């Protein structure tokens, strides 16, 4: 029980550090002419890469990656939908995530360094839960 609690605290702290790094590294975010039209947003749903070097998180409606130790965040998805729930593959080469970018909630994968996202399923109301250890199979949850 203690190990799980400590891991949750570490992941939460890492997400906060990534958000702070993102804001300082991207001052244009703060230069918007009227910030009052935005409600406050925080980095959410952090996922740590298997090697512990990188963290992926959802911010606003896209996915971002940043070094776990701190540094500049890089946006890896840009879509009109809501990209969320990132999960690294066991080898760290892919990130699976849920999105409604094509008009329905589906599961997508994208290279962990960014690139073109690939739709994995077309079944509606399915959200990503995890990868199987083989790195080829995904577990989704239908709601």
pLDDT digits (tens, 9 = 90+) for 17-41: 444 444 444 544 444 445 456 677 8
Digit-coded pLDDT (tens) for 77-126: 998 899 999 999 999 999 999 999 988 888 999 999 999 999 998 777 78
pLDDT score of 113? 92
Distances (CA, A) of 52 to 21, 49, 117, 124, 125: 17, 5, 23, 32, 31
Which tokens is 127 given?
Answer: 């959200």
Which residue did the predictor score with more confidence, 23 or 48?
48
Q: Higher-confidence residue: 11 or 78? A: 78
Task: Spell out the alpha helix ranges (H) of the chain.
Answer: 2-25
Residue 89's nearest CA partner among 61, 58, 33, 47 is 47
Decide: 120 and 76 in contact? Cβ < 8 Å: no
Q: Which two tokens stand for residue 48?
A: 């740590």
């Amino acid at each position: 029980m203690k190990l799980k609690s400590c891991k949750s605290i570490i992941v939460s702290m890492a997400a906060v550090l990534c958000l702070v790094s993102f804001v300082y590294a991207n001052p244009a975010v703060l230069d918007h002419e009227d910030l009052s039209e935005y409600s406050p947003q925080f980095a959410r749903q952090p996922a740590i890469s298997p090697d512990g070097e990188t963290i992926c998180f959802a911010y606003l409606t896209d996915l971002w990656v940043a070094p776990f130790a701190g540094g500049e965040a890089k946006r890896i998805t840009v879509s009109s939908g809501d990209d969320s729930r990132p999960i690294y593959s066991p080898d760290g080469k892919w990130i699976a995530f849920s999105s409604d970018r094509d008009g329905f909630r589906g599961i997508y994968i994208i290279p962990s360094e960014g690139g073109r996202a690939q739709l994995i399923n077309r079944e509606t109301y399915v959200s990503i839960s995890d990868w199987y250890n083989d790195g080829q199979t995904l577990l989704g949850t239908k709601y």
